[in-house]
Amino acid sequence: MEIEFIIFISMIGIFLLFNILLKLPVSLSMVAGAIVGALIGGEGIPLRHLFEGTFVYIDTILIISTAMIFMMVIQESGLLEALTSSIVRKFYKSPIVMLILLMFIIMFPGMITGSSTVAVLSAGAIVAPILIMMGIPNPKTGAIIAIGAIMGMAAPPVNIPAMLIAGGVDMPYIGFEGPLLFLTVPCAIFTVLFLGLKDSKKVDFENIKGKLNYETYNEYGLKLYLPLIVLVVLMIITRAMPTVVPNLGMPLIFLISSAVGIFTGKKFNLKNTLVESMKTTIPVLGKLMGVGMFIQIMTLTGVRGFIVNNALNLNLAMLYIAIIVILPAFGAVSSYGGASVLGVPFLLALLSGNQIVTAATLSFIASLGDLMPPTALAGNYSAQIVNEKYSEVLKFAAIPFFVCLGFALLCLLTSNKLGFLIF
């Protein structure tokens, strides 16, 4: 047995022991796995390596924290409830149109920011109550939001895994729009109709209409929507005119929009809201820190190379299987990590296909990794929004997940015929 394999199974073993048997949090279990990996690899307890690994997530910490603050602010100000009511009132007559429309709303922040977490925490939080009101059970709603957010993350114009893969082979991020839309739009529509249509057809919308709350909107008027308008406008103009508008970054955009929200709706205790929003965020951030340490030790001890090597040194048929199994599975650690660590060598191994379509598809598959426990950023936050356990949400996400994966595999196999998508 190779030493790297022994280190790998020890790291996983310790993680499972701590997490499942001893019921310790994911974060501490990953730290324990990382430390044991380093010890067996003859590195002692390398404090510098452990914490250096966490620095990949500094920007993610800021995005998640500020997105959470924004979500709490729009909840407290009454914006969330008012928006839900008005969307239902306008579109209740056609559930199909409404479901597809809601799916695009979920995707939108992900398309602009390239982050599924942002999509879940901003648009997902707005859409969740509507889906529930339409008669879709909570766990199914969670699954729709999680997959919608991932489709948004993978959809153009911003797909960070695709940028990482393209950057890794010095390919400009140009021409990805067509293939990415081709991958994400059908999958998104399929998911929302597959999970939502049956339940939403059964519901009597006339009855729901009566239950909606219009009071907040009547009291504050359009002003109530200002934080959301500011958020969307800032997101779009910083992307559309990067040479004119300075790059504010998502954390600052979320904070500016939150600040607007303090004055545009119901009054609330700002300090408590801020502290409370951080309270729900800390365990997820802790998990990210654990993941960062875990990957750094995997790289340091050669476990990462061991995994990439075993995935690559396969014949072509097995290579495709490895791509649809290992690439999303790496999302359990990090989908961006998967794109950069595995996506690049996979692309290099598939040079015979259409490069842009292949890179786009690999980024799509890597993005699906955001559903993988234990990190499962998209899944975890969706579950939190609908007050369900993540495992419940995952059950419903499974079929659309495999359909997306199957579709992606098809695109990989026929990438040479899909060149017309590049414009």
Let me know the angle formed at the C-alpha of 378 by 376 and 384, rounded to the nearest 5 degrees. Answer: 95
**Span of 185-193, 305-313, 371-379, 383-391 interacting with another protein by CB under 8 A:** 305-313
Interface residue with another protein among 6, 132, 274, 409 (CB under 8 A) is 274
Residues 6+ apart with CB under 8 A from 406: none
Query: What are the C-alpha distances in Å from 13 to residues 42, 139, 300?
Result: 18, 30, 18
193 interacts with another protein by CB under 8 A: no
How far is Cα 310 from Cα 194, in angstroms, rounded to an integer?
36
d(CA 254, CA 273): 15
The CA-atom distances, in angstroms, between 388 and each of 150, 193, 343, 393 are 19, 21, 32, 7
Helix (H, G, I), strand (E, B), or coil: what is residue 47?
A: helix
d(CA 308, CA 369): 16
Please choose, out of 131-139, 219-227, 293-301, 363-371, the segment that lies near another protein by the rule CB under 8 A.
293-301
Closer residue to another protein, CB minimum distance, 324 or 349: 349
Q: Where are the alpha helices (DSSP H) in 155-269?
A: 160-168, 177-201, 205-211, 215-220, 226-240, 250-261
CB closer to another protein, 69 vs 386: 69
- Report the half-sphere exposure of 126 (CA within 13 A, side-chain side): 30
- Residue 234 near another protein by CB under 8 A: no
Contacts to another protein from residues 351-410, by CB under 8 A: 351
Q: Which region, judged by CB under 8 A, interacts with another protein, from 92-100, 126-134, 281-289, 321-329?
A: 281-289
Smallest distance from another protein to CB 281, Å: 9
Handedness of CA 111, 113, 119, 123 (dihedral sign): negative
How far is the C-alpha of 343 from the C-alpha of 323, rounded, in Å? 9
Residue with smaller CB distance to another protein, 321 or 398: 321
Closest approach, Cβ 362 to another protein, in A, equals: 14
Q: Which region, left, alpha or beta, applies to residue 175 given φ > 0 means left and ψ of -120 to 50 means alpha? A: left
Of 328 and 343, nearer to another protein (C-beta) is 343
Please report whether residue 49 would count as binding another protein according to CB under 8 A: yes
The conformational region for residue 281 under phi > 0 = left, psi -120 to 50 = alpha, else beta, is alpha
Nearest distance in Å: CB 121, another protein: 15
Selected range binding another protein among 177-185, 221-229, 334-342, 388-396, rule: CB under 8 A = 334-342
- For residues 251 and 115, the answer to whether their CB atoms sit within 8 Å is no
Query: Is 337 an interacting residue with respect to another protein (CB under 8 A)?
Result: yes
Per rule CB under 8 A, is residue 299 in the interface with another protein?
A: yes
Interface stretch with another protein, choices 53-61, 92-100, 260-268, 410-418 (CB under 8 A): 53-61
Query: Which of 33, 37, 53, 124 touches another protein by CB under 8 A?
Result: 53
33: contact with another protein by CB under 8 A: no
Span 309-328, contacts to another protein by CB under 8 A: 309, 312-313
Give 85 or 277: the residue with its C-beta nearer to another protein: 277
Verify binding: residue 156, another protein, rule CB under 8 A.
no
Q: Which strand (E) or helix (H) includes residue 69?
A: helix 58-77
- CA 281 to chain centroid, in Å, comes to 15
* Gyration radius of the chain over CA positions: 22
Binding positions for another protein, 109-138, rule CB under 8 A = 113-114
Residue 55 binds another protein (CB under 8 A): yes
Amino acid type, 383: A
Task: Report DSSP state, residue 169.
Answer: T
Q: Does 52 bind another protein (CB under 8 A)?
A: yes
Q: Which of residues 67-96 bind another protein (CB under 8 A)?
A: none
Cβ of residue 207: shortest distance to another protein, in angstroms? 41
CB of 170 or CB of 206, closer to another protein: 170
- For another protein, the binding residue among 250, 323, 326, 393 (CB under 8 A) is 250
CA–CA separation, 396 and 393 (whole Å): 6
Contact 53, 296 (CB under 8 A): yes
**Which one of 130, 300, 332, 386 is in contact with another protein (CB under 8 A)?**
300
> Contacting another protein (CB under 8 A), which of 207, 246, 267, 317?
246
Query: Min. distance of Cβ 385 from another protein in angstroms?
Result: 20
Q: How far apart are CA 393 and CA 407, in angstroms?
A: 22
The answer to whether residue 204 forms part of the interface with another protein (CB under 8 A) is no
Tokens of 111: 């398309």
Does residue 262 interact with another protein by CB under 8 A?
A: no
Question: Toward another protein, which CB reaches closer, 24 or 208?
Answer: 24
Task: Single out the residue of 164, 187, 228, 421 in contact with another protein (rule: CB under 8 A).
Answer: 164
